[in-house]
Every structure is written in structure tokens, then in C-alpha cells.
Structure 1
């Protein structure tokens, strides 16, 4: 589609008046008491155009309202965790029932068994599961378990995937490695996604030293034919543990995760994000033989697998069970794909119509779309990302990504595409001028992983 010139002109005029004074004050307040002004780096003020980082008042369904009273169509909700939409009635009702019954006890509640049984029925490739509160703890527990089971020190991570854990074994490999001993970082090596030969070479170079291969089974690109099967065979041949990080792919690829969709079973896998629809719950799941090493029914050395005070809060487990039931009974994964396909097609058409189809790109599986903003030379550009984000915000679209939730409807998608068209019209002007600076409104947005603040 293409935007009409009068509408674009009106949009430009309105854009000049767009400001977030209350959000600006709230951000200053946040920075004073919270390092970085947010509890997740990806939610930081530096990820948004200067003075246009909305502070959220509340959300419902696919929409959120900032403290200035603006309503936005929201994407990437809760960093992909709120896949059913905010305040989903089935989930909130399940949580309310448990809140009146107590949230945490000195012994396990029967709800823990029910939640585990529900999870294993949804992800039948796993034989045991243990719940926690965040993905980092679950993935680090998988690494610890793999090291204990194999007696090997090294961890091999997929170099093409951006994040696995806040813990030293991973963060030491990023640009934000301050405070992490080099001796720890040296035990983590990497392999490229989709390249079995390179992975086999790595395993040969460190023969008998690598405890596990850790990767997202799929990300922006689909796995090449035979790749996951080949990785499974390599892990078996070299005696290491295959770990799938399904924080994102879990539920969005299928109810049983990418492992259920592609038919390749890892030794261990980790789930989170969509599992609780915004409530704090994650899971480590896998083969009984391995998982039992963190339990009481084995004769070897005990593994301190996962032991968290709040890991089995009843209301979070109730939320997880409600989420899984909703996904299975209402075909949520299929809806996410349908919504994503409509959005991707609309954005691509809008970008092409404004002459920036080679610069504003939509990538990834339909249920997990991201966008790229490229400069005149086809290189990723933070300034052009800033321009794009700024124009989306002005049009009532909060979109650090284009990851959809099931609460979106066709009208939300159509509105988003219309706003994208207006943003692309400005993008074209910036390309023609050879410099996006006049349209940024301040400093460019910054990457999360960088050495200096």
C-alpha cells in the first residue's frame, strides 16, 4: 500500500506536537532509584528515541496506556512474555483463585504436581520438569546439570543467538563482561548456527571437554533441513548434552515448542516467557536420567539443580496451567501465525510503496517477527531505527519488534500498517537527504550489549 500525501502531511504536523512530559518525569524518577531506570536492559530508556520512552500506566489486551494518557498498539509485549494479551481473563481468574488460598508454603502444594503434569502433557518430549522464576536460572541449571553428568568443564553456545543467561558463563562472552573473571569466560566456546561441520570441528578441537551444546532450536531463520537432527547425532557421538533454549520458541512455534514442531528431542530444554503470560514462571525440562541427578533418587553426587524460594508460587503455576489450556483449546499458536503473516505482508507492502522496501525489512517466523532498519548502503543503522521507532510512537504503535500477541485484531494490524507507511515516507525523505539526523529528535537509540554506558 502507499500512504496518501495529505495524510502524511497531517501526520508530520501532529508529530511535531507529540511529547511525553509525564513519562519524561517518570523516567527521571526511575533512573534515580533503579540502575538504568529499568529492571531489564531491553526495556531501558536508551532503547527508545530521546524523551520518547513511554512509561506504562496499564494494559489490556493488545493495548497499553502510558502515564501521559496515550494509547498504543503494543508489540513484543513483556519481551514476548504476554502472548495472550494483557489481563487475559482466563489467566487472571486462575491467579485470583489461588491468591485467596495462599501463595507459598513450607512444603510443596499439590498444585506443583498438577502444574508439572500439565506441562509434561503439553511438552511430551520431556519426562521431568522443575519450575523457576526466570529463564536465566533455568538455563544455568541445565548447564550445571550437563557439567555434572559429563564431568566436563566447557560449554558450547550458539554464537548467532543473542542471549541465554545473566550468569557469568554467558555474560562473560558479551560486550558487558565487566566483573567476570577471564577464567570463567574461557570455559565458554561458540559454534555457528546451521553449520554442522564447524560444530563437529569444535567438538573435535575440545574432544572430551565440552559438556553441552546450548542453542535456540530456531530464531530469525528456520533450521536448515537435517540440521537439528545432525546436531542431535553430533551430541550423541561426542557424549555431550544437547540443550534447547525454548524461551522464545516455546508455545510460539508450537504448544510443544520447536522440539515438538521439528521432531528433534533435546536432552534438556528451558521454557519461559509465554509460559506465564507475564507472570514469573520458567521451566527446566528433560530426560529423567539427567533430571534425577538434581533429586533424591540416585546414588551419585548431588547436583544443586534449582532451589528457589519463589519457584513454586501457586499463582504463577496457576497462570502457567491456564496459559497452556488456552493455547491448546483455542489454537493460539495458529492465531499468532495468522496475525503475523497479515502484519508482515502489510509492512512489506507499505515499505515497498514508499520506496524503502530494501531498507525496512521484516524477518523471522510469523509468530515472532522482528524488523531491520538499513541505511543507504544496506547496513544496519541505529539512527534509522530511531527515526522509525519515533514515527511509530507518534502514530500510537509501541513496537521494539513486530512480535504479535493473540489479543491483536485485524483493525490493530491495519492501523499499524498505516502508521508504518507514514514512517516509511519519512524514512524515504531521510534517505534522499543522505542523513536521518533532522528526523531523530535527539541521540540515536543504542544497542543493549555495549561496553560503555
Structure 2
């Protein structure tokens, strides 16, 4: 059997990353504040703990440099420590960040956001996507007087709150009665959505979905879905956490020319700073305000929802997007990366086992075993080879800070990883190259 290559010294059990990761696991449940960043998502003893980042590069606590993909779970599209964002945040922090009354910057941020997303009339800011999307669900229920929410079952995540988490393989602690108030429908299948609405006629408050996914929606699907929902008295909520400022400056709704009733944004909006947004039609959003006679809806009311430095970051991000073709650059980089990776894996004879999927600005990779089935063990092998080559890639999601040289280097490392992948397939055993236990899916009932 072929022997595995030696690990980079930074991957050794005695590394500083390993020491800090162990302390994190002792003090923080799961070892990270986001499950997708947990050590179980990375090969054993090869989960670098980051010390700093600049552009598309990060350095771990051992001083090792990586080209980074999927930056901040897709939130850092301009690159780490982008000068315009750093300057705006620093300036605002010096002025104070939170007051007893709204600050001028809250108006400035609202104006900038609604200019960027002209399909909406009003906006309310928060700190994370879960709160914003849950607020959209609450608003839809208040407006329609209905309890049931329908979520797109082909999309992985909408909120940390009970109405969504109860539908996942990790429903512990969530009352079954709450879970029964959420149903599902598939993406791109209008007939199936109609069947779901007919089955629950008069019960569905909202359909919640990402407007874009691994592939563009079928022609006319999104508008037809909005029209169908309205005929059944339901609202449509677009979760634009990923698609907003990655599909287009105006979100997926701008790219596809469809106006939802409500939508939620985050991630790229702050280039890594904590800011999200609930936005939508005035007649709906105003229910969370003071200028109506309806029963009031507790929409969003968070102490830190309008922190000045986060809003300053958002304004700076939106200004960069207005001046520069950030989307076009990410699309070009992603197209080049996809072509290079596909050529490299094909040359190694694993083109049917390492697949690149998704929009060019939002690429992911799939790893398949000898039988062509999705494999966490082969994902472990592949990720280990990438990390040992200086590529931190839980996905191939690009940022605009990547350079052509970064892409070339990535493809070179992928080519070497693909050769190891081929050898493991030939041996029928990837374990010599895994370095330990397999990486795990985030949503699973037991650790």
C-alpha cells in the first residue's frame, strides 16, 4: 500500500494551532462560535487557528500563510482589512458606536442600502442573518394571520431559530409542536410548490427560499412562484444572505428581475463586520413601526443592531461596489478557477470524482468515492492535501481580493492533490492520506 506523505510541521499535534484549538474546545462548545468553522470540519490536527488576514491571504498562529477561500463563510468579498472598510470603521469608532437615540449614520446606511436594493422600500438592520430572517417570518405570520411557514428543502440554512432548526437532523431542545409549523417545498418545481400550497390551503404564511443556488432558477420560476404564493394569500421571503452582493449589487432579486415581499441580507454587506438587514415592501415593514393602526409586530429590537462602526462598514462596502465591478471580478476569478481545477482533476483521472459546482462567484466542490457516491473520507483526503499546500478551502468560494497568481497556485496544489486522490482510488483506501478521522457534516444528531 502506498504510504502517505509527511504532514507539514504546522499540522503536527504539538503545533500552536493544535494547542489553541484544544483550549477553544475546552472553553467554547464545539471549539468555534460557528459550527461550520469547527475542528470537525477539517482534517484531524490540521485545523489552523487564524491570527490575521490581509486581502485573500491569512496567517495562522504558527505563522503559516494560506490562500483562503470561503472567507468568513462567504462574508468577506472585498478581502480582509480592505482599506476603505478599515478607514470607515476606524473613523466611526472614534465618534462613538452606540447611543440612547438613533444616530445620523443609521439614516445614511438606510439610504445607501435602499439605493443598492431598489426593489425594497424600508430596511431595518440587525447583527446576524438568523434574526433578520426570523423577523421576516414573524412579520409574514402577523400580516397573514397564519402560522405555517414553507422553506425550500434544497437549501441548507435559514436561521438558528426553532422554526428552522427543528427541521434539521439536530432538533434537540425544540418542541415538536414548533417543528410542525414548518413545511417544505423543492427549488425550481412550481407544480410541487402548488401541491404543497393546496395541501395546506389557507395555512401558509410565507415561502422562504434563496432566489439562486448551485444553478440559476428555471426561466420564469421565481416570478411564477411569487404569483402563486400571492394567489394563495402567502408572502415570499428571499434569503439573500449569500446571494446579496455576490449575485449582483442589487441581490439575486435584481439579477433575476423579481421583487419578493420581504428579503434579508447580510454576510457580504459588512465585509465580515456584523451587520444584516430585513427589507421589503412598506405596507409590510411599517407593521413593525409606529405609523399604523394594526396590531404592532415586534419586528427587530436589538441593542447592537445599529452599531455605528458596522453600519460604517456597510456604507463603505456599498460604495466600493458602486465604484468598482466587484461582482464581475469575482465571476472572472471563479470562472478561471473552475476551468483550472477541472483541467487538473481531469488530467489526474479524477474528473468524475472531484466536481466543481455552483455560480462562478460561489463555487463549491464535491468529492466522490470509487462508486461515485459523496464521500467525507475523500473530502478529508482532498482538504488535507490542499491545506498542506497552503490552500485553506472548505469551498472554492472566491473573494475579489484573490489574484491571478493565487488562482494559479491553487490549481497547482489541486493538481498534486488530484494525483494523491487517484492513487487512493486505485488502492481503494483513502485512509493513509486522511491523517486520522474523517471530517463530518455540520448537521448530525450525535457528535
2:428 counterpart of 1:434? yes
Superposition deviation, residue 389 in structure 1: 0.3
Residue pair 1:15, 1:391 contacting (<8 A) in 2 also = no
Picking from 374, 382, 395, the partner of 1:388 is 382
> How far apart, in 2, do the equivalents of 1:320 and 1:34 lie?
29
| d(CA) in 1 for partners of 2:19, 2:232 | 56
Provide the residue aligned with 2:207 in structure 1.
213
Alignment TM-score, normalising by the size of structure 2: 0.98
1:265 aligns with 2:262: no
Q: 1:70-128 deviations in whole A, cap 9, x for unaligned?
A: 00000000000011000000001000110110000000001101100000000000000
1:253 to 247, 250, 260: 247
Aligned-pair CA distance for 1:15: 4.0
Structure 1 position 309 matched with structure 2 position 303: yes
Quote the residue 1:200 is aligned against. 194
1:54 correspondence with 2:53 = no
- Is 2:64 aligned against 1:70? yes
Q: Counterpart of 1:345?
A: 339
Counterpart in 2 of 1:138? Answer: 132
Match of 2:156 among 153, 162, 166: 162
Alignment of 1:301-380 (within 5 A): 301-380=295-374
**Structure-2 change in CA distance of 1:323 and 1:117 (3 Å):** same
Is structure 2 residue 220 aligned with structure 1 residue 226? yes
Q: Does structure 1 retain, via aligned residues, the 8 Å contact 2:152–2:187?
A: yes
Deviation at 1:327, TM superposition (A): 1.0
Aligned counterpart for 2:180 among listed residues 186, 189, 198: 186
The match for 2:285 among 270, 285, 291 is 291
Give TM-score, length-normalised by structure 1. 0.97
Q: Distance in 1 between matches of 2:149 and 2:9?
A: 52
CA distance in 2, matches of 1:338, 1:303: 43
CA deviation string 1:161-216 (max 9, x = no partner): 00000000000000110000000000000000010001001001111100000000
1:225 deviates by 1.1
* SS class of match (1:214): strand
Answer whether contact 1:129 1:283 (CA < 8 A) is retained: yes
User: Which residue in 2 is equivalent to 1:116?
Assistant: 110
Q: Secondary structure at the match of 2:401?
A: coil
SS at match of 1:367: coil
* Distance (whole Å) between structure 1 residues aligned to residue 21 and residue 334 of structure 2: 31
Secondary structure of the equivalent of 1:378?
coil
Decide whether the 8 Å contact of 2:126 with 2:132 is kept in 1: yes
Equivalent pairs counted in the alignment come to: 444
Report the 3-state secondary structure (helix = DSSP H, G, I; strand = E; otherwise coil) of the residue aligned with 2:361: helix
Whole-angstrom CA distance in 2 between matches of 1:390 and 1:77: 18
User: How far apart are 1:19 and its partner, in Å?
Assistant: 2.2
Q: Contact 1:348 / 1:357 at 8 angstroms: preserved in 2?
A: yes
Q: Tell me, in whole angstroms, the C-alpha distance in 2 between the residues paired with 1:22 and 1:317.
A: 35
Q: Are 2:5 and 1:29 equivalent residues in the alignment? A: no
Alignment-derived partner of residue 416 in structure 2: 422
Contact 2:10 2:17 in 1 (8 A): no
**SS in structure 2 at match of 1:252:** coil
Which of residues 11, 14, 20 is equivalent to 1:19? 11
